[in-house]
Amino acid sequence: MTLRFVADHCVSKEIVESLQDAGYDVYRLKDIAPIDSPDSAVILKAQELDSILLSLNGDFTDIVTFPPARYKGIVSLQLRNHPETIALLLERLKAYLLRYSDPGHYKGKLLLVEIHRIRVRE
């Protein structure tokens, strides 16, 4: 089974297409839910679609509000207002996804994707 993602509204077309080109299923939020959906609805939609949430939104890194144990997985790209790092973040993320291709690996985890590392919180 291939990994499946729901890309939050803040995730660029470039990122979505890069993951799709790598063979992953990626739903764009704007195609499946209102663009102004609150965070709680966004993560619920990811759950309904049996998908990992992909976001740049720092709100999803709040493990009190969004405890990773409740979800199929959250991947937070740590762009920090530096779009020039997108290629490096994608390179790091795709290498990780290739290494850990089982969707069960992501359940209950928050991945914080940075240029030089990926931190995993459970």
Whether the model clears a pTM of 0.85, i.e. scores above it, the answer is: yes
Looking at residue 37, what DSSP letter applies? -
Q: What is the pLDDT of residues 12-40, one digit of tens each?
A: 999 999 999 999 999 999 999 998 899 99
Residues of the domain holding 62 = 4-121
Backbone angles phi, psi at 10, to 5 degrees: -85, -5
Q: Please state the domain count of the chain.
A: 1
Band of residue 46 on the pLDDT scale cut at 50, 70, 90: very high
114-118: long-range contacts, CB 8 A cutoff, minimum separation 24: 114/78, 114/89, 115/78, 115/85, 115/88, 115/89, 116/92, 117/92, 118/92, 118/93
